[in-house]
């Protein structure tokens, strides 16, 4: 397990999910909230509507079959299934707390009326037509722009294709 925010948390995944939903509703005023995980894809997702945009925050969950959960830190002894699950669950709890922290920061910015910072924080999470976030769509274009030195000609999916 790695260190960092939430590495020793005892807050369950379910309690983090409830806290995220409550904060989105009561502190941020978000609507159309969806929170869940896809263990097959290894992702945790929080989607919500705030003002007139839909946002999607996705983080990767730890891979349950990774050696770090099945072997002791010294890599000498194999853990039991229960021990491996417990180690994996702690890492997953940490990831959910990291989403909670992002939402908490967002709530604090809204409370301080720093809406420019809110917009900057959420920009990459905006859902675009085509079911991609702004981050997913623009990252390849930005990488290409840095490689070639040319600005992208297309701003939105479907324009000038």
Mean confidence (pLDDT) of the chain:
89
pLDDT for 154 beyond 90:
no
Instruction: Match 């840095």 to its residue by tokens.
Output: 146
What is the average pLDDT across 65-92? 87
Show Cβ contacts of residue 132 under 8 Å, excluding neighbours closer than 6 positions.
157
Return phi, psi of residue 5, to 5°: -55, 130
Return phi, psi of residue 64, to 5°: -65, -25
pLDDT for 75 beyond 80:
no
- What local confidence, expressed as pLDDT, does residue 7 receive? 65
* Predicted structure pTM score: 0.82
- Domain positions in the chain are 13-125, 136-161
- What letters, b where the CB count within 10 A reaches 16 and e where it falls short, cover 84-117? beebbebbbbbbbbbbbebbeebbebbeeeeeee
118's enclosing H/E stretch is helix 115-122
- At 1, the pLDDT band (50, 70, 90 cuts) reads very low
Q: What 3-state DSSP class applies to 17?
A: helix
- At 159, the pLDDT band (50, 70, 90 cuts) reads low
CB 107 within 8 A of CB 100: no
CB 27 within 8 A of CB 111: yes
138/39 Cα distance (integer angstroms): 27
Q: What is the pLDDT of residues 40-74, one digit of tens each?
A: 899 999 999 999 999 999 999 998 888 888 888 77
How are beta strands 31-38 and 43-50 bridged, if at all?
Answer: antiparallel
Q: What is the pLDDT of residues 102-111, one digit of tens each?
A: 999 999 999 9
Closest CA to 79 of 61, 67, 92, 90: 67
- At 126, the pLDDT band (50, 70, 90 cuts) reads very high
């Amino acid at each position: 397990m790695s260190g960092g925010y939430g590495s020793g948390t005892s807050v369950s995944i379910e309690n983090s999910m409830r806290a995220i939903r409550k904060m989105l509703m009561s502190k941020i005023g978000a609507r159309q909230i969806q929170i869940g995980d896809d263990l097959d894809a290894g992702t945790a997702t929080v989607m919500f509507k705030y003002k007139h945009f839909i946002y999607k925050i996705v983080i990767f969950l730890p891979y349950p079959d990774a050696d770090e959960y099945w072997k002791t830190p010294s890599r000498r002894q194999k853990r039991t299934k229960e021990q491996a699950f417990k180690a994996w669950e702690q890492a997953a709890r940490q990831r959910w707390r990291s989403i909670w922290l992002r939402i908490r920061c967002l709530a604090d910015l809204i409370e301080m009326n720093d809406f420019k910072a809110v917009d900057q924080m959420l920009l990459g999470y905006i859902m675009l037509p085509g079911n991609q976030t702004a981050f997913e769509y623009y990252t390849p274009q930005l990488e290409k722009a840095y490689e070639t030195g040319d600005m992208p000609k297309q701003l939105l999916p479907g324009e000038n294709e």
